[in-house]
Amino acid sequence: MNREEAPTIRLSQFLKWKGLCGTGGEAKIRIREGEVEVNGAVEMRRGRVLRNGDRVVFDGEEHIVALAGDS
């Protein structure tokens, strides 16, 4: 599977999916406030596309993106 076919999820969706934020509005605020890191850098774009293996740090905890469909 090439990079274009690999499953993706937007950062704000990931935060909701993992139960880290209760709503999209909360995710938007937390991202905009600089409270989220992706792969070691503060990420301010809620639409940032994440792929398997990306590392998201939120509230001091690291979460590894692992989406179904990647083989």
Q: What is the pLDDT averaged over residues 61-65? A: 98
At residue 68, the pLDDT reads 86
At residue 2, the pLDDT reads 60
pTM of this prediction?
Answer: 0.87
pLDDT digits (tens, 9 = 90+) for 4-58: 678 999 999 999 999 999 999 999 999 999 999 999 999 999 999 999 999 999 9
At residue 39, the pLDDT reads 99
For the chain, domains (ranges, CATH) are: 8-64 (3.10.290.10)
At residue 3, the pLDDT reads 60
Q: What is the DSSP letter of 34?
A: T
